Every structure is written in structure tokens, then in C-alpha cells.
């Protein structure tokens, strides 16, 4: 049989609480039974008390000769006696019988029978007496009978007082039982719960303060005993782990420091790659940083030609001058440096064992050579060489870091090459734009002047003074127009588009037009739409500039308007109040070179160009962009025409 100390916590608490629970149930049951007895006795005592009132009422009816009332009252009195004798099953009413109560009740019944015979002549039919009774004798006999009823009620009260005392005793017992149960439960809680918890708390505080030898002595085999054993096992494990914690912390600290150094190295090289603008700046900066990061005594950056036949030294850090001059350019395969494509992965070469193949490294006291291929798109484009005076091995993280840095350097070199190609393409596009503008404007004017010069020679040869004056005037007008075209080109080449909004560029164009021509111009923007892409802005500006140039040259206008609608499609209209012209293919002819230039530009961007003119009523040039081209493009570098 298990000892009580080995019981579970629930079993112990049940052992303490069940006896008190049984006693409490018994006390409550006794209290309920006594209360039920008191309720029935109280009802019986009340019913017995009614007998006195009924007796006096019958005496009054007999004295007054009211036979009907007397019969009813006698029947009611008999029912009350029967109710007291047998009790009431519908409600708690019963006489608490004992010897004294039975004696008193028998006395009441016997005197009731004599009382009826004496005063009510209660025969078989219960008829009232024929003569009126003596009132004084009736009252005295009635008082004597009522005294016997009072004695019966007093006997019931005496019996009820004993039940009341018993009820009080039960209540006092329940109170004492509650106090005892509370004390027992508190004591059991203290012994079985509080004391083990205090022991656990004390041991926990000792461990928190650094005393890893704190343990809890299991006082029992219940749940707290199991918890104490678990706590002791945890403390043992914690003490064991703490013994190795310092070494682990040291390892983790070194590992974190190494990772931090790698991140710092990547950050430095990334910053160099992002900020370098020339090859010398990039290569020299990379060599200096890689030597410091790898803790190398010297670092060399070599770049291979297209065939990987030669490796050119483009940067060196910490390398002796004599060695720098001797290895400025090496052939692939002539040395352990400069391995042709496909090159192996990172290599660590002990120099002293390779002395015949590495004469320069041996001469200057280097003991270890580390070569890192610089790759771009799976092709070897160069090599990074690290030299150490001591023997050196590389861990896997160091190898991956050097390979990552070499990959960053290869990407940076490729970016420099692409930037150079982009700048070359931009210059080429700018020259193409300049040639087109010169051909579309000044070249046309020069061709016209060439023709006029030939006509001038003919007029001079023929001595035609009138013709000479006419041709000279046309030459003068042509020269003035060419001069105006040159100034206009210079002004327009300085115009820049805005990547977000074309309105500032249009306003600048109108101000330049006013300054050049003296004609007031007004800009009106309507609606709200997505901004135009930079390439579209440049083409629209050139078309607007060409339309304004035509106004300056031919319209003789006093005012100019530029109306821009942004919704539902972009629409640009240049209006003037000039002389206008006859609108038709033959009327335009070859003299309106500017209109042809505008149409070509509009076709280039898929836009519609419409020219509306009436002689004497001005001209309107309307440019409408297609809906699919009005969507704002992502900000991009301006093309060569924007750079112009």
C-alpha cells in the first residue's frame, strides 16, 4: 500500500476535504429535518390555538340559541381535532407527539365530549338544548375547557422549544465544522502546496543570482515532488551548459566578428564600385582594399585580353617596384599567375615548393600566393593575386568572400565599359541630330544662296542692273534668314525637357521666341493627364519650335498662342494672327521646308500633324499624339536628342 506522502496532490486534498464534506452533509440534513419538524409543529400549534377561539364562538352561539351556527362551529371544531390527530399531508402540519402532548391532547378530547353533552345536548342528531343555558355556568365551563386547550398548546410549545434548541445546536455545529474545515484546508494547502512552492521559488532565486548548485529536496511523491525532480534535472543541465557557455560565447563572438568584417568588406567594395568613374580609380582602390581585407602583404589586379593570351597589370598594392616592372605584362601559362580561360577556382599556392616557376616571388620573400579568377558571365576576364610573406591557408568563408569581391570587381569593370559605350553612342546621336538640323534649315538656306550667287554672276555678266539689285536683295534676305536660323538652333539646343512635366520647357520655348521675334506669346494648359515620356517631350518641343520658327519667318503675326490639352489625348496647337497662306499641295511647294520637317517628326512618333491656314486670317498647326503613346513611361535616361 502506498504511503500517504506518496499520494498525488489531488488525493491528499481529497483525503483532507472528504470527511468535512460528509460531516457538512450530515449537519445540513439534520438541520433540514429539524426545520421541517419545527414547521410542522408551528402549524400544529397554530391549529391548536384556533381551538380556543372556536370554543368561545360555540359558547356564544349556544347562549344566543343560534342552532345553525352552532352546528357549523361544532363540525369545524371536530375537523380541527381530526387534523391535529392525523396531520396534513398537503402541508407540513403535524403534532410533535410525546407523552406530555398525548396526555394533554387526550384530556382535550375527553373534556370535549363532556362539554358537548352538558351544553349542546349533542344527541344523535346534535340538536341544541330546548331551554336557554345558564350563561355564567357556560362561561365558567368554557373557560375550564379552554384552559385544557391552553395546556395542550403549552405542551406543544415545550416540545417545540426542544426542537429549537436542537436546531441552534446544529447551526453551531455547522459553524464549528466550517471553521475546522477552513483551518484544515489552509493547513493542508500550506503543507502540500505553499511549502513546495516556497522551496521552488527559493531555489529559482538562487539560480537567478548565479548559484547554479541550488537544488530542491523532493518532500513527497506528488506533483510537486515530480516538479522538484524536473527542476533539479533542469538545474543540472543548466550547470552543465554554463560550464561550456564561455567557450561557445567566444566561438560565436569570433564568428560574428568575422561576419561583420565580411559585411564591412562587401560594403567598402560596393561603395568603391558605385563611386568609381575611371579605370585607375576603380583598380587602384580595389587593390588597396582587397589587400587590407585579406591581410595580404601585396595585391595585384591583372586584366586579360580578348583571347586570354596576355594578362596586363592594371593595379598593384604593396608590390616591390622591381617586381612591378618585371611582371607588368605576362603571357598566359608563363607563371602560376595569369591562367588562361577556363581558369580553375581560387588557388592557394605555396611559393617555396614552386620556386623554379615563381622566381620573382621567391626573390622578394613571399611564401604564399593566392590567385582568384575574375569572371564575368562564366568567362575569365582577369585575375586577382594576393601575396603573403608567411605560409597561409584560407577557410571556406574567406574563399567565398574573395570570390564575391572579385565578382563585384568584374561587374564594375563591365559597367565602366558599358558607360563608355553609352557616352560614345550619345555623342554619335547628338552629332546625327545636329547634322539633321543643319540639313533641314541652314543647308536649305545655303542651297538657296548658292543659286542666288549663280544668278548674280549671270546678272553681272549681262550688266542687268535691275536684276543685280533684285538678286542682291534676295541674297541679303537669305543671309539674314540663315543668321536667324543659326541663332534659333543655338537657342533651341539649350532647351531641356522635364522628366515629369513638359509645361516648364514649353514656357521657356515661348520666352525665347518672344525675345527673338518681339511677338507676344501665350501658353494655356487644359486638363490633367499623365506626363509624357522624355523621348516624346523632346520630339514635341522640336515640332513646337519649328512651328514658332515658321511664324517668325513667314506669318508677320502680332500675337501667338500655344494651347495644350492633356485629356483625353495630348493635343498641341500653335496659332497666330498672321497673313496665312493658301493651303494645298501646290501652294505649299518646296518653300515650306519647316512644314515638311514637322511632318517627318510627327510620323516618327506616330502622331498626327494638321495645318490649317486661311490667307489673311492666320495659321494653326495642330499636333495630336496617339492615345497609347500618352501613357507616362518610367523615368529613363534622356536620349541623345535630349542631351542636345
| Three-state DSSP string of 563-591 | EEECCCCCEEEEEECCCCCCCCHHHHCCC
Q: Identify the residue with better confidence: 13 or 554.
A: 554
Q: Which residues lie below 8 Å from residue 513, measured CB to CB, with a gap of 6+?
A: 519, 521, 548, 551, 552, 560
Please tell me the distance from the alpha carbon of residue 637 to that of residue 495, in angstroms, as a whole number.
Answer: 16
What pLDDT does 412 receive?
83
Q: Residues 11-45: pLDDT tens digits? A: 777 877 888 888 888 888 888 888 887 888 888 88
Does residue 277 sit in helix, strand or coil? coil
Q: Where are the beta strands (DSSP E) in 425-565?
A: 521-526, 560-565
pLDDT digits (tens, 9 = 90+) for 336-364: 676 665 656 788 888 765 545 566 777 77
Closest to 407 measured CA to CA, from 261, 273, 271, 258: 273
Please name the residues in contact with 496: beta carbons below 8 A apart, sequence gap of 6 or more: 505, 642
pLDDT, position 610: 92
Range from 33-47, 132-146, 180-194, 438-452 carrying the lowest mean pLDDT: 438-452
pTM of the predicted protein model: 0.40
- Residues 88-109 pLDDT 10s: 767 778 788 888 888 988 888 8
pLDDT at 636 over 50: no
Chain centroid offset of residue 297 CA? 49
**How many angstroms separate the CA atoms of 23 and 399, rounded?**
83
What band does 644 get if pLDDT is binned at 50, 70 and 90? very low
Pick the closest to residue 482 from 538, 556, 549, 545 (CA basis).
549
Cα→Cα distances 436→407, 423, 491, Å: 43, 20, 16
User: For residue 642, what pLDDT band results from cuts at 50, 70 and 90?
Assistant: very low
pLDDT at residue 532 in the model: 84
Q: For residue 573, report the phi and psi dihedrals to the nearest 5 degrees.
A: -130, 125
Q: Determine the 3-state secondary structure of 119 from DSSP.
A: helix
Query: Residue 528 burial (CB < 10 Å; 0-12/13-18/19+)?
Result: exposed
Q: How far apart are CA 98 and CA 40, in angstroms?
A: 15
Model confidence at 233: pLDDT above 70: yes
> d(Cα 523, Cα 538) in Å, to the nearest integer?
18
Amino acid at each position: 500500500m502506498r504511503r500517504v506522502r506518496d499520494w498525488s496532490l489531488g488525493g491528499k486534498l481529497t483525503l483532507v476535504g472528504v470527511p468535512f464534506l460528509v460531516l457538512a452533509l450530515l449537519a445540513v440534513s439534520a438541520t433540514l429535518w429539524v426545520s421541517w419538524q419545527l414547521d410542522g409543529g408551528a402549524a400544529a400549534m397554530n391549529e391548536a390555538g384556533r381551538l380556543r377561539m372556536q370554543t368561545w364562538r360555540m359558547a356564544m352561539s349556544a347562549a344566543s340559541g343560534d342552532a345553525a351556527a352552532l352546528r357549523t362551529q361544532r363540525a369545524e371544531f371536530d375537523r380541527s381535532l381530526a387534523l391535529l390527530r392525523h396531520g396534513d399531508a398537503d402541508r407540513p402540519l403535524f403534532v410533535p407527539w410525546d407523552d406530555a402532548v398525548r396526555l394533554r391532547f387526550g384530556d382535550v378530547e375527553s373534556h370535549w365530549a363532556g362539554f358537548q353533552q352538558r351544553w349542546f345536548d349533542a344527541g344523535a342528531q346534535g340538536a341544541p338544548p330546548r331551554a336557554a343555558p345558564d350563561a355564567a355556568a357556560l362561561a365558567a365551563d368554557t373557560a375550564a375547557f379552554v384552559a385544557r386547550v391552553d395546556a395542550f398548546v403549552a405542551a406543544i410549545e415545550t416540545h417545540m422549544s426542544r426542537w429549537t434548541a436542537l436546531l441552534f445546536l446544529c447551526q453551531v455545529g455547522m459553524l464549528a465544522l466550517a471553521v475546522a474545515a477552513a483551518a484544515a484546508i489552509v493547513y493542508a494547502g500550506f503543507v502540500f502546496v505553499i511549502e513546495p512552492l516556497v522551496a521552488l521559488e527559493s531555489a529559482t532565486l538562487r539560480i537567478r543570482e548565479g548559484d547554479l548548485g541550488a537544488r530542491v529536496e523532493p518532500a513527497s511523491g506528488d506533483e510537486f515532488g515530480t516538479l522538484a525532480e524536473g527542476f533539479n534535472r533542469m538545474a543540472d543541465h543548466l550547470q552543465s551548459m554554463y560550464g561550456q557557455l564561455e567557450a561557445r560565447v567566444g566561438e560565436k563572438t569570433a564568428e560574428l566578428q568575422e561576419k561583420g568584417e565580411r559585411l564591412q568588406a562587401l560594403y567598402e567594395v560596393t561603395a568603391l564600385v558605385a563611386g568609381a568613374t575611371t579605370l585607375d580609380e576603380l583598380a587602384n582602390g580595389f587593390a588597396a582594399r582587397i589587400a587590407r581585407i585579406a591581410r595580404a602583404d601585396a595585391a595585384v589586379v591583372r586584366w586579360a585580353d580578348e583571347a586570354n593570351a596576355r594578362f596586363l597589370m592594371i593595379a598593384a598594392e604593396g608590390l616591390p617596384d622591381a617586381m612591378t616592372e618585371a611582371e607588368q605584362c605576362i603571357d598566359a601559362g608563363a607563371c602560376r599567375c595569369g591562367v588562361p580561360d577556363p581558369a580553375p577556382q581560387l588557388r592557394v599556392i605555396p611559393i617555396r615548393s614552386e620556386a623554379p616557376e615563381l622566381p620573382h616571388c621567391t626573390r622578394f620573400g613571399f611564401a604564399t600566393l593566392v590567385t582568384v579568377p575574375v569572371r564575368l558571365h562564366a568567362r575569365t576576364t582577369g585575375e586577382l593575386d594576393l601575396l603573403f610573406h608567411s605560409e597561409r591557408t584560407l577557410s571556406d568563408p574567406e574563399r567565398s568572400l574573395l570570390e564575391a569581391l572579385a565578382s563585384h570587381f568584374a561587374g564594375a569593370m563591365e559597367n565602366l565599359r558599358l558607360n563608355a559605350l553609352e557616352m560614345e553612342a550619345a555623342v554619335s546621336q547628338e552629332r546625327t541630330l545636329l547634322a539633321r538640323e543643319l540639313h533641314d534649315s541652314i543647308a536649305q538656306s545655303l542651297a538657296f544662296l548658292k543659286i542666288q550667287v549663280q544668278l548674280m554672276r549671270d546678272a553681272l555678266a549681262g550688266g542687268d542692273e535691275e536684276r543685280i539689285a533684285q538678286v542682291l536683295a534676295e541674297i541679303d534676305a537669305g543671309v539674314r534668314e540663315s543668321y536667324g536660323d543659326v541663332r534659333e538652333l543655338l537657342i533651341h539646343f539649350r532647351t531641356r525637357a522635364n522628366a515629369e512635366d513638359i509645361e516648364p520647357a514649353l514656357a521657356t520655348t515661348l520666352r525665347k521666341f518672344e525675345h527673338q521675334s518681339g511677338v507676344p506669346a501665350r501658353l494655356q494648359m487644359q486638363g490633367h493627364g499623365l506626363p509624357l515620356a522624355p523621348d516624346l517631350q523632346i520630339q514635341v518641343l522640336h515640332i513646337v519650335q519649328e512651328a514658332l520658327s515658321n511664324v517668325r519667318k513667314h506669318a508677320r503675326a502680332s500675337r501667338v498662342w500655344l494651347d495644350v490639352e492633356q485629356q483625353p489625348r495630348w493635343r498641341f496647337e500653335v496659332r497666330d494672327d498672321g497673313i496665312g497662306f493658301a493651303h494645298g499641295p501646290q501652294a505649299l511647294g518646296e518653300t515650306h521646308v519647316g512644314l515638311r520637317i514637322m511632318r517627318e517628326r510627327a510620323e516618327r512618333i506616330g502622331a498626327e500633324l494638321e495645318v490649317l491656314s486661311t490667307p489673311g486670317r492666320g495659321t494653326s498647326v495642330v499636333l495630336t499624339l496617339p492615345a497609347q503613346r500618352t501613357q507616362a513611361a518610367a523615368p529613363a535616361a534622356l536620349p541623345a536628342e535630349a542631351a542636345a
